[in-house]
C-alpha cells in the first residue's frame, strides 16, 4: 500500500503541461488532498550555471540573455556551437549532471514536498531524457540508465504515474507563435525545436515500458500560451 503518489506531467513545449499541472493541483487541494506542485528539469542548479558560463564566453551575455527570455536553455546554445563534445567534457558533464539531477530532485521535489501525499511534477524525468539525448547523443546512455534506475527505486516508495500531454504539430506551432517561445532565432531555428519535440515523444515511448502512462491530447484553445 503506497502512502504517496508521484505524478509527472510531461510532453512537448506548448502542449499544456503547466496548465494541466496547475489544474490537477487545484482539484487535489479542493478535494482535501495534501498535494504539492513542483517543476523539475534537466541541467538545473550547478549544470545551468556551468552551461551559462560557457555560452557567455562563446556568444556574449546579451545573446544568452535574449535566448533565456525565449525559453532556450544555455545547453542548447552550447551544443549548436560546439557540435561535437570532446570525450573529457562528456565525462565531466555526465558526472556533474548525475550528481545535480539526484540532488535537485531531493531538494526541489522530495524535501520541498515533505508531509504531502500527492506530488505533481511539471516535466520531470521523461522530458529530461530528451534533453540528454539532445546534448549528448549516444553518450547520453549512462544518464538515461541512471534515470531508469532512479525511477524504479522511486516506485518502491511512490505510486508513480506519467501523464503525457500533447497536441498536433500544427497546433503546437500556432501556440509557439502566439506566446513567442520557443521562438526561432539566428542561432536556433524551428527545425531544432521540432527535432527536440520528436525526442520528447521518443522518451514517452521509453517510459511507457517502465511506468504507467496516460496520454492526453489538448484541444487548440486549451493551454494556448502555456507549457
Q: By C-alpha distance, which of 142, 52, 56 is closest to 97?
A: 142
Query: pTM for this structure?
Result: 0.89
With respect to residue 222, please indicate whether it lies within any of the assigned structural domains: no
- Give start and end residues of each alpha helix (H) in 3-108: 17-30, 45-59, 61-69, 74-82, 87-105
Confidence tier at 225 by pLDDT (50, 70, 90): very low
As for how many domains the chain has, the answer is: 1
Specify the pLDDT at position 193: 86
With respect to residue 162, please indicate whether it lies within any of the assigned structural domains: yes
Q: Strands across the sheet with 4-10, in order? A: 35-40, 118-123, 4-10, 158-166, 213-217
Q: Provide the residue range defining the domain that includes 91.
A: 4-42+87-217
With respect to residue 184, please indicate whether it lies within any of the assigned structural domains: yes
With respect to residue 106, please indicate whether it lies within any of the assigned structural domains: yes
Q: From CA 6, how far away is CA 43, in angstroms rounded?
A: 21
**Residue 167 is part of a domain; what is its CATH number?**
3.40.50.300
Contact assessment for residue 100 and residue 45, using Cβ atoms and an 8 Å cutoff: yes
With respect to residue 80, please indicate whether it lies within any of the assigned structural domains: no
With respect to residue 76, please indicate whether it lies within any of the assigned structural domains: no
Mean pLDDT of 75-84: 89
With respect to residue 57, please indicate whether it lies within any of the assigned structural domains: no
Question: pLDDT tens, 127-186?
Answer: 999 999 999 999 999 999 999 999 999 999 999 999 999 999 889 988 888 887 787 888
Contact assessment for residue 70 and residue 181, using Cβ atoms and an 8 Å cutoff: yes
> How many contiguous H segments (helices) and E segments (strands) does the chain have?
9, 5
With respect to residue 107, please indicate whether it lies within any of the assigned structural domains: yes
Contacts of 52 (CB under 8 A, 6+ apart): 64, 74
Amino acid at each position: 500500500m503506497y502512502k504517496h503518489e508521484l505524478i509527472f506531467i510531461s510532453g512537448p513545449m506548448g502542449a499544456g503541461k503547466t496548465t494541466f499541472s496547475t489544474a490537477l493541483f487545484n482539484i487535489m487541494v479542493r478535494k482535501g488532498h495534501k498535494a504539492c506542485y513542483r517543476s523539475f528539469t534537466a541541467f538545473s542548479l550547478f549544470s545551468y550555471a556551468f552551461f551559462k558560463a560557457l555560452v557567455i564566453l562563446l556568444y556574449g551575455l546579451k545573446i544568452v540573455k535574449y535566448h533565456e527570455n525565449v525559453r532556450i536553455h544555455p545547453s542548447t546554445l552550447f551544443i549548436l556551437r560546439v557540435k561535437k563534445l570532446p570525450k573529457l567534457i562528456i565525462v565531466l558533464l555526465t558526472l556533474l549532471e548525475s550528481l545535480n539531477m539526484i540532488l535537485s530532485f531531493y531538494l526541489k521535489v522530495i524535501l520541498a514536498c515533505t508531509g504531502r501525499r500527492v506530488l505533481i511534477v511539471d516535466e520531470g524525468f521523461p522530458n529530461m531524457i530528451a534533453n540528454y539525448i539532445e546534448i549528448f547523443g549516444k553518450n547520453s546512455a549512462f544518464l538515461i540508465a541512471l534515470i531508469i534506475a532512479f525511477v524504479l527505486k522511486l516506485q518502491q516508495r511512490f505510486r508513480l504515474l506519467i501523464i503525457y500531454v500533447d497536441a498536433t504539430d500544427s497546433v503546437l506551432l500556432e501556440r509557439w507563435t502566439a506566446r513567442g517561445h520557443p521562438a526561432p532565432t539566428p542561432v536556433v531555428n524551428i527545425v531544432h525545436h521540432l527535432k527536440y519535440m520528436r525526442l520528447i515523444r521518443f522518451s514517452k515511448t521509453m517510459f511507457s515500458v517502465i511506468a504507467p502512462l496516460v496520454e492526453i491530447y489538448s484541444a487548440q484553445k486549451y493551454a494556448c500560451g502555456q507549457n
